[in-house]
Amino acid sequence: MTTDTIAALATARGIAALAVIRISGPAAIPILERHFRAAGRRPPFPARSAMLGELVCGEERIDQVVALFFPGPHSYTGEDLVELMTHGGEIVPERVLELLHASGARPARAGEFTQRAYLNGKLDLTQAEAVESLITARSAIEAQAALRVLGGGLREVLAASIDALVEAQALLEASLDIQEDGAPDTLSPIWDPARESMGPRVGRLLARERARLRRLLEGARARRMLRAGYRIVFAGRSNAGKSSLFNAFLGRERAIVSPEPGTTRDFLDEPLDWEDLRIVLTDTAGAQRAKGAIAEASNRRTREALAAASLVVEVVDVAATSTEELAEDLAALNRPAGEVIVALHKWDLGAGRAWQAWLAEREGQARAAGPAGPAAGKPRAPTAVPSSVKASPDVAPLRAAIEARMRVLGSEAQATLIVAERQAERITRAVEALERAEGLLREGAGAELIAFETRGALDALGELLGRRVGHEVLEQIFSRFCVGK
C-alpha cells in the first residue's frame, strides 16, 4: 500500500492547447477540495464527471481547468486519482505543479503511475510493458501489437501455458510421492510400468507448450528488426553492380559507380522510408583479392555489414559469373534462405543458357511449392530475380521480391505478442528449460530432475506476468517510462 501522493504532467511539455496533470494517492481528493472551485458545486465532488472550474491558491487564480475524479480502486492506478486538464504552454502547467507539490503531492518518478497500477493489481507486467511500448512505438504495426498485449493478449497465452505446465508438474510430483511410498529410488524413470500413462502425457504437454512458446518468439525477431531498422545489404563480387542497385533504390547517385573492380572500399548506410517501415540500405565492397591494409580493412567492413543485415541482396553479374560460382558464394554467405535474395544482375547483357535454365528451374520449384510455399514460410532456396539498371527488366522484380519479404516480416511483427525484450528473454528461458525437460524425459531420467526443469519454465513465465519479481526488475522496467505515465 502506498501512503504518499504523487503528481506529474502526463502530456509533453511545450506550447499546446491543453496539458493533463495527474494526482494519485490518498491526498488527491483533499488537494482537489482545497484548490478547486466550481460554480454551483461543493465537495464531495462526483466521481468520473467532468467539472469546469478554477484552480486557486488562496485568493489567487492559477488556471481555468476541467477536473476529473476517479475514486480508487476503479482508477488507472487503483488509488484515488485526479486528472486536471489545464491550459498548456510553458507557464501554466508548471504553476499548477508547484501548487500541487506545495500541497503535499510529491513529483512522480518515471513510470510511477503505471507501477502503482501494477502493484495494485490493475495490470500485470506484460500489460505495463505494453503501455511503454505503445507510447514509444515508431510504427503503426508496433502500436497495434502493443494494444493487443495491453488488452491482455499475452497474458491469455501465458495463462494457458502455465495451466498446462502446472498439470505436468503435478503429474511429475505425484509420481515422486508414489516412488517415496513404494520404491526407495526417487530417481526411477517416470514411465515405470506401474504408471505407464504418465510419461507420454507429460511428454505431450511439454512438447505442446514448448511449441506454443516458440511460436510467440517468431514474431519477436521481426519486431526487433522493425524497431531497430530493417537492414538490406547489397553484397556480391567486385564489379557485380551493387553500388548501381544501391543508387537505383535510393533514387540518387549516392555511391560511386565505375567499371573498375574495387570501386567501393567502405560500406555506405542510407536510411529509406518504405511505407510504414524504417529501412537502412547498405552498399558493401566486393571481396578484395589484393593484399594490403586497405583491402583487409575493406573485407572486414563488409563482414561487419553482413553480420548486421536483416536481408542480403546477393548481386551476381550474370555475364561474368557461373551458376557454380554463385552456389559457392551463397554457401560462403551461410544465411537462412529467407534472408537472402539473389539479383541476377546485368540481365540486359544477355544471360547465357546456363542462367536461363537455372532460373527456369528455380521458378518451376517455386510454382510447385504453391503460393503459400517458399515466400510465406521458410524457403529452402533464396528467391532469385533478373535485374538490371540499364534496361528491362530493370529493378522492379527485385523491388517486388524485397517487398514480399517485408510484408511477411510486417505481418509477423503485427501478429506478435512480444512487445519488450524482457518478454522474449523470459520466454526463451522457459523454452530452453522445456527442451531440457523433454531431453531428460526421453533419456528416462527421474521425475525429480524433470520437475526441476518444468519448475524453471514456470518460474520464467510467472516472472513474465510479474509474479514474485524482485524490486530491481520493476525498477528496470518502470524507469524506462516517461514521467506522468
Ligand X SMILES: Nc1nc2c(ncn2[C@@H]2O[C@H](COP(=O)(O)OP(=O)(O)OP(=O)(O)O)[C@@H](O)[C@H]2O)c(=O)[nH]1
Catalog residues that contact Mg ion under the rule CB under 5 A.
243, 263-264
Q: 186 with 461: CB under 8 angstroms?
A: no
Nearer to ligand X, 263 or 323 (CB): 263
Residue 299 interacting with ligand X (CB under 6 A):
no
Q: Distance of CA 69 to CAs 51, 66, 164, 207, Å?
A: 9, 10, 42, 49
Residue 388 interacting with ligand X (CB under 6 A):
yes
Ranges within 394-413 binding ligand X (CB under 6 A): none
Phi, psi of 97 (to 5 degrees): -65, -40
Shortest separation between residue 390's beta carbon and Mg ion, angstroms: 16
Nearer to ligand X, 334 or 392 (CB): 392
Write out the DSSP string of 274-337.
ETTEEEEEEE-PPPP-S-SHHHHHHHHHHHHHHHT-SEEEEEEETTT--HHHHHHHHHHH---G
Q: 378 with 337: CB under 8 angstroms?
A: yes
Residue 258 interacting with ligand X (CB under 6 A):
yes
Q: Distance of CA 70 to CAs 6, 32, 111, 116, Å?
A: 15, 12, 19, 15
Q: State the Cα–Cα distance between residues 282 and 288, nearest whole angstrom.
A: 18
Interface with ligand X (CB under 6 A), residue from 2, 11, 136, 263: 263
Nearer to ligand X, 85 or 257 (CB): 257
Nearer to ligand X, 94 or 269 (CB): 269
Residue 139 interacting with ligand X (CB under 6 A):
no
Residue 252 interacting with ligand X (CB under 6 A):
no
Q: 125 with 461: CB under 8 angstroms?
A: no
Give the SS3 label for residue 97.
Answer: helix
Task: Tell me which DSSP letter residue 446 carries.
Answer: B
Question: Which partner from the list Mg ion, ligand X, none does 258 bind, CB cut-off 5 to 8 Å by kind?
Answer: ligand X
Provide Rg for the chain, Cα atoms.
30
Choices 189-197, 346-354, 425-433, 454-462 (CB under 6 A): range interacting with ligand X: 346-354
Nearer to ligand X, 45 or 347 (CB): 347
Residue 286 interacting with ligand X (CB under 6 A):
yes
Nearer to Mg ion, 68 or 315 (CB): 315
Cα–Cα nearest to 211, from 157, 248, 253: 157
Residue 257 interacting with ligand X (CB under 6 A):
yes
Sheet strands (E) in 25-80 = 36-37, 51-57, 60-70
Shortest separation between residue 96's beta carbon and ligand X, angstroms: 59
Residue 240 interacting with ligand X (CB under 6 A):
yes
Shortest separation between residue 359's beta carbon and ligand X, angstroms: 16
Question: Which partner from the list Mg ion, ligand X, none does 240 bind, CB cut-off 5 to 8 Å by kind?
Answer: ligand X
Nearer to ligand X, 34 or 254 (CB): 254
Grid cell in block for residue 336: 537462412
Give the SS3 label for residue 39.
Answer: coil
Ranges within 79-98 binding ligand X (CB under 6 A): none
Nearer to ligand X, 155 or 345 (CB): 345
Cβ neighbours around 268 below 10 Å, total: 19
Our CA dihedral for 163, 169, 171, 177, rounded to 10 degrees, sits at: -140
Residue 238 interacting with ligand X (CB under 6 A):
yes
Residue 241 interacting with ligand X (CB under 6 A):
yes
Residue 243 interacting with ligand X (CB under 6 A):
yes
Shortest separation between residue 446's beta carbon and ligand X, angstroms: 60
Residue 242 interacting with ligand X (CB under 6 A):
yes
SS3 content of the chain, % helix, strand, coil (to 5): 50, 15, 35
Number of residues that bind ligand X (CB under 6 A): 23
Choices 19-27, 110-118, 127-135, 254-262 (CB under 6 A): range interacting with ligand X: 254-262
Q: State the Cα–Cα distance between residues 337 and 424, nearest whole angstrom.
A: 24
Nearer to Mg ion, 263 or 365 (CB): 263
Residue 389 interacting with ligand X (CB under 6 A):
yes
Q: Which residues bind ligand X (CB under 6 A)?
A: 238-244, 257-259, 261-264, 285-286, 345-346, 348-349, 388-390
